Chains A and B, each alone.
Chain A
Amino acid sequence: MSRRRARGRLGWNALGIVIFVVLVFPVFWMLSTSLKDNDQISSFTPTWFPRHPTLQHFADAIHRQYFWTDVGNSAIVVLATVAIALVLSFLAAIALAKYGFSGRKLFIVLVIGIQMLPQAGLIIPLYIVLAGRHQVNTLTGVILVYLTFALPFCVWTLRGFVLGIPKELEEAAMVDGSTRLGAFVRILLPLVAPGLVATAVFAFITSWNEFIFANTLLHSGSKQTITVWLSFLYGGNRFVDWGQIMAASTLIAIPVVIFFLLVQRRISFGLTTGAVKG
């Protein structure tokens, strides 16, 4: 029996490794290509590993027009979105988790419902609203649009984190003579901090990756975000410079991968909270 089970496990392991190879191949291929020289890339028989690893493509990519400008734009948009969303949604989450108020149920329905709307379906109305306020082709406009999806998400996730902290802790602090504000600063804030970080990182990732709105709202090259910049990247005039495109892709993916590894567990938990327990 045990030998049969061991042999079975060997089979599953082999299958697991095959799937791993298929799964990460595109990522491997991106890295591998970005390090190859042009002769090796344009060869008709691809080779798996770079023969003469070079960083030339990375140098080309970061010296391309608007790379740093657009990284800067992305950084401004992302940081502003995350900061505003976090402050507003933290307060909203506390209200939702701790207080009853009229319209609370409607508020919850809206918070969940708004996250379900397909972004493609919202481009036109948002464009028209922003155009009326002369906010098309400005970063402010994009920040406002990003808040429309970052806010509901942050409210809902943070609410879960706030709920996870026992009421008694705060009450005990207040019994001991702390003010409501004092209890908030000394008890609630430090305990929710990990949740705040996880939520912030998730908002960071979605805004950094966002393409549809940035592509529609930002027209000039110096004002675009980095994902739009990448989507326009074809390399040279006469041939597609895949080495450079893959190098740029790698650079743009790196911050996301790092942050993702940091908070992956919490995200999966947040999106289906309750489902598992249900």
Chain B
Amino acid sequence: MLLRTVVFTAVNVGLTMVLGTLGALLLVRVSTWVRLLLTTGLVLVWAMPPVVAVQVWSWMTNSENGVLNYILTDVLHFGNYFQHNWYETTFSQYSMVTSLVVWGAIPFVTITVYAALSQVPHELVEAAQIDGARAWRIFKDVTLPVLMPVLLILTSLSIIWDFGAFTQPYLLIGPGQQTTSNYLMSTYLYFEGFGKTDFGIGAAISILMLVIVAALSVVYVRRMLRVGEEA
């Protein structure tokens, strides 16, 4: 369960950060009207309440006539997903939860990284271009160092959020479908604490979670503290 939580967190954070950063890099390259379109979309997604997003997800992925199966089968021709049940295996269940969590988390990362990208000095990029550097080299040696502090904070925030994710796994997989075979720490402590009213075990898991998160958030807190003292 601890391992599952760690893997779940790692996959979610990894996908969120990579896709979010790529999104920000894309925002820089498109025309103004496409950028406006994308930012509006991002804010719209960002604003969706998690419980609402869960309901939309269970409607889109339901096996009877969910639109996901339809798109995979009849629009993209990926194979036959007619009445495919996405909630049959633990892996498949968490793929759905991951898609939901990452979808909801990308806007924050993209918009923040995009803001940070505007801090990259133009002169440096141009100088590198004149020196004949390729796009990848420019990104690695000029852009990335400027982005690093932001990426660091975003990553630690995402780790903290995804590690404690509860609403999405609890509701999307369904309270009735959760067993010892597919618990995350957050859902496990909930069911021990309130399902079986065993506050002892629940509290023990809580403490374990808090310790892990406390260790993870040291980076973020220290950074914020430094900012706080400078100002």
Residues of A within 8 A of B (CB): 8-9, 12-13, 15-17, 19-20, 23-24, 26-27, 29-30, 33, 42-46, 105, 108-109, 112-113, 116-125, 127-128, 160, 163, 205, 208-209, 211-212, 216, 227, 230-231, 233, 240, 242, 245-246, 249, 252-253, 256-257, 259-261, 264, 268-269, 271-278
Contact = CB atoms under 8 A, between A and B. Distances in A.
B115 to A, nearest CB: 6
B56 A246 contact: yes
Contact of A227 (B51, B149, B220): B51
A242 B49 contact: no
22 contacts: A12-B30, A23-B38, A27-B48, A45-B74, A113-B221, A116-B217, A117-B164, A118-B166, A118-B186, A121-B186, A230-B52, A231-B51, A233-B55, A249-B55, A256-B47, A260-B43, A268-B115, A272-B150, A274-B227, A275-B116, A275-B150, A275-B153
Given A13-B34, A116-B221, A278-B149, A272 B164 contact: no
A167 B115 CA distance: 28
Contacts of B154: 272
Contacts of B38: 16, 19-20, 23
Closest 8 CB pairs of A and B: A118-B164, A274-B227, A260-B47, A120-B186, A116-B217, A209-B49, A121-B209, A120-B166
Contacts of A128: 199
Contacts of B221: 109, 112-113, 116
B24 to A, nearest CB: 12
Interface residues of B, number: 82
A46 B30 contact: no
B37 interface: yes
Given A9-B31, A23-B42, A120 B190 contact: yes
A43 B74 CA distance: 14
Interface in B186-231: 186, 189-190, 193-194, 199, 202-203, 205-207, 209-210, 213-214, 217, 220-221, 223-228, 230-231
A26 B46 contact: no
Given A20-B37, A29-B60, A46 B67 contact: yes
Contacts of A8: 29
Contacts of A125: 203, 206
Given A116-B217, A128-B199, A45 B163 contact: no
A243 to B, nearest CB: 10
A271 B65 contact: no
Contacts of B111: 264, 268
B52 A264 contact: no
Contact of B225 (A15, A42, A112): A112
B14 interface: no
B160 A116 contact: yes
B56 A120 contact: no
